[in-house]
Structure 1
Amino acid sequence: MIQQIYPSVSHPYSYELNKDMHFAAAHSIPSADAGKCAQVHGHTYFANVTIAGDELDASGFLVNFALIKRLIHDRFDHTYLNDDNEHFHAQSADYFPTTEVVARTIYEITQNYLDQLANKPRCVQVYLRETPTSYVIYRPKKTDQQLAANEAQNKAAAPDA
């Protein structure tokens, strides 16, 4: 595989891992504004998932690379994305299987898995290339809960005034 350079995301963690994978999938975008993309067509998607954290697990991994591949590649490879009614549907543009929505979905699947791990790694970026000339990057925003936790951590670490 050719060395890929991705836009990097700033994060406060000690460890960062990147898992590259590709999968072949078909889709159609159920919108009149989608042009030719409204027709069923396929891509060989190239995905990079960036995971960060401060603690390694009992095996010395932040996350086992093979587990990330199973979560994403095994789920989407050689599928018709529109058939995945758990993540995609035609009732809302937020759930059409566009590259943007697929990237967000990869993040959600990955982070839901990571949330179950004791070392609590975070998915900080998903890079998804649909064609040689087109790609999307999805980076989650910090939630109010994460912001509150960070604020409390900063207050605890600050010296008394």
Structure 2
Amino acid sequence: MLQQVYPSARHDYCYELNKDFHFAAAHYVPAEEAGSCSMLHGHTYYANVTVAGDELDATGFLVNFSVIKKLIHDRFDHTLLNNDTDSFDEHNSERFPTTEVVARTIAELVQRYLDGTPNKPSCVQVFLRETPTSYCVYRPKRTGKAGGHE
């Protein structure tokens, strides 16, 4: 993956970790208004996941880089996203596999893992590039949690 500068997520945590990876997947947006995107097609998605926190784990990591890649790459690479009915739903536009929803889903999957770790860092941003000219940035809403993020 080429080195790239990503938009910065605002947070008050001491540590910030960023993991770049890519995955190839097909999808379609099940809505007539989506135009050509309603037809089955594929992308090589490029993702950057930002995790932040104040405490390191017993190995001195905020989170192991390989865990983040494995959570997403192993799940989505060389798949038809629409078939992942745990993540996407063809009857609910809030869960169509659009770039926005895929980015949010990546954040949710990573956060679910992080919530089970002793140091409990936060996924503060997902940058997801679908094409060379199109990308989405997803940032979970801030809450009153320590560090100021969901």
What is the TM-score normalised by the length of structure 2? 0.95
Q: Percent identity?
A: 66
State how far apart, in whole Å, the 2-side matches of 1:87 and 1:98 are. Answer: 12
What is the correspondence of 1:25-36 to structure 2 with a 5 Å cutoff?
25-36=25-36
CA displacement 1:21-57 (0-9 Å, x = unmatched) = 0000000000010000000000000000000001000
The structure carrying a bigger helix percent of its residues is: 1
Q: How many residues align?
A: 146
- Could you report, residue by residue, the CA deviation over 1:112-136 in whole angstroms, capped at 9, with x for unpaired residues? 0000000010000000000000000
**Cα RMSD (Å):** 0.9
1:18, distance to aligned residue in structure 2 (A): 0.2
Deviations 1:92-118 (A, max 9, x none): 110100000000000000000000000
Map of 1:131 onto structure 2: 131
CA distance in 1, matches of 2:9, 2:24: 26
Structure with higher Rg: it is 1
Q: Match of 1:54? A: 54
Cα offset for 1:65? 0.3
Distance 1:86 1:3 in 2: 32
Structure 1 counterpart SS, 2:69: helix
- Give the corresponding residue for 2:18: 18
TM-score (norm 1): 0.89
Moved segments of 4+, more than 6 Å? none
Structure 2 unaligned blocks of 5 or more:
none
1:140 aligned onto 2:133: no
Give 5+ residue unaligned stretches, structure 1. Answer: 151-161
Shift of 1:2: 2.1
For the pair 1:103 / 2:103, whether they are aligned, the reply is yes
Where 1:11 maps in the other structure, the secondary structure is coil
Counterparts of 2:24 and 2:2 in 1: how far apart (Å)? 18
In the other structure, the counterpart of 2:42 is 42
In 1, Cα distance between equivalents of 2:2 and 2:127: 16
Q: Secondary structure at the match of 1:5?
A: coil
2:84 is matched with 84
